[in-house]
Amino acid sequence: MENKIILQVPFASPAFDELVALRDRILRKPLNLVFFIKDIEQEYEQVHLGCYDSNFQLLGCLTLLHVNNSLVKMRQVVVEPFGQKRGVGRMLVKASEKWAIENSYNKMMLHARMNAVEFYTKLGYRQVGKPFEEVGILHYAMELDLNHQVIPSTLG
């Protein structure tokens, strides 16, 4: 895959609308879930990262939610099918960790679908607690201590 860049995407921008459309198509529609305006409005203060190729085609995205002064939650991680297994997801996760460290967070948490647990485990995340159901499918809570992470520069 060609060069990729991670950009922070402003809420309510045309690029943000593209992130929402990708999340809707890959994460929500297969589960017969729908985005409502109230769902989108809650993302106003969240951080949205998009991964783009050199033609600024969106390859993947994620959202970061402030939980408290030391904890941030990674959510809605999605990669276009043609970008999977090509470093897009890893690049997004590492960029989110870099952002979290730069903003004084100590821990990253997420809810991983069963099919994503191995991906996050390889990136150093550990399972916390027992599996649980969310949006009708099995998930695991996972977390990463950011205090000892060495994060390369990836956020453009």
The pTM of the full predicted model, rounded to 2 decimals, is 0.90
* Assigned superfamily of 4-148: Gcn5-related N-acetyltransferase (GNAT) (3.40.630.30)
Mean pLDDT by runs of 10 across the 156 residues of the chain is 88 95 88 77 94 95 97 96 91 97 97 94 96 92 88 52
pLDDT at 139: 94
What residue spans define the domains of the chain? 4-148
Euclidean distance between CA atoms 73 and 86, whole angstroms: 24
Give the H or E element holding residue 48. Answer: strand 47-53
pLDDT at 135: 86
pLDDT at 92: 97
pLDDT at 1: 46
Euclidean distance between CA atoms 80 and 152, whole angstroms: 23
pLDDT at 47: 98
DSSP 34: -
pLDDT at 37: 80
pLDDT at 154: 47
3-state SS assignment for residue 84:
coil
Query: DSSP letter string over 84-106?
Result: TTTTHHHHHHHHHHHHHHHTT--
